[in-house]
Amino acid sequence: MTYLLLKATLSAIIIIAVSEIARRSAGLGALVASLPLISVLGMIWLWRDTADPVRMADHATATFWYVLPSLPMFLLISVLLRRGLDFWPALGIGCAMTMLLYACMAALLRMRGINL
C-alpha cells in the first residue's frame, strides 16, 4: 500500500508542478508538460513491478506509437480556443479526435503486423 501511495503522490506532484509553472509561464509550463515524465515514471514503476525486459520493450514501443496520434490534439484545441470555442467543448473535441486517431493508428499498425 505504501508503494501505491508513493506512486500516486509522485505523479500528483508532477501534475501540480506543471499546472503551477504554466500559471506563471505558458511556454515553460508547456515545456515541462511535454517532457515524458509520466511515461518515464510509468516505465520505472513497471520495471520495478515486473523486471521483464520484453514487457518493458513492448510498453516503450506502444508508447511511441500512441504519442504520435495524440499530438494533433494540442493544435486542434489551440485553434478552437482562438476561434472562440469555450475550453470544455474544445477539450472534448480534442480528446474525441485523439481517440479516433488512436483507433486509426492501431488499425494501421495491425495491417502492418504490429499489435499494440
Shared domain for 63 and 114, answered yes or no, is yes
Tell me what pLDDT residue 15 has.
85
Q: State percent of the chain over pLDDT 70.
A: 100
Q: Is the pTM higher than 0.85?
A: no
Tell me what pLDDT residue 14 has.
85
Tell me what pLDDT residue 54 has.
95
Shared domain for 26 and 1, answered yes or no, is yes
Shared domain for 62 and 78, answered yes or no, is yes
Number of domains in the chain: 2
Domain that holds residue 75: 53-116
Shared domain for 75 and 41, answered yes or no, is no
Shared domain for 36 and 60, answered yes or no, is no
Shared domain for 110 and 58, answered yes or no, is yes
The closest of 34, 61, 59, 31 to 45, measured between CA atoms, is 59
Q: Where are the alpha helices (DSSP H) in the chain?
A: 2-24, 26-34, 37-50, 53-82, 87-111
Shared domain for 25 and 40, answered yes or no, is yes
Q: Each residue of 40-92: pLDDT tens digit? A: 888 998 999 999 999 999 999 988 998 999 999 999 999 999 999 999 999 99
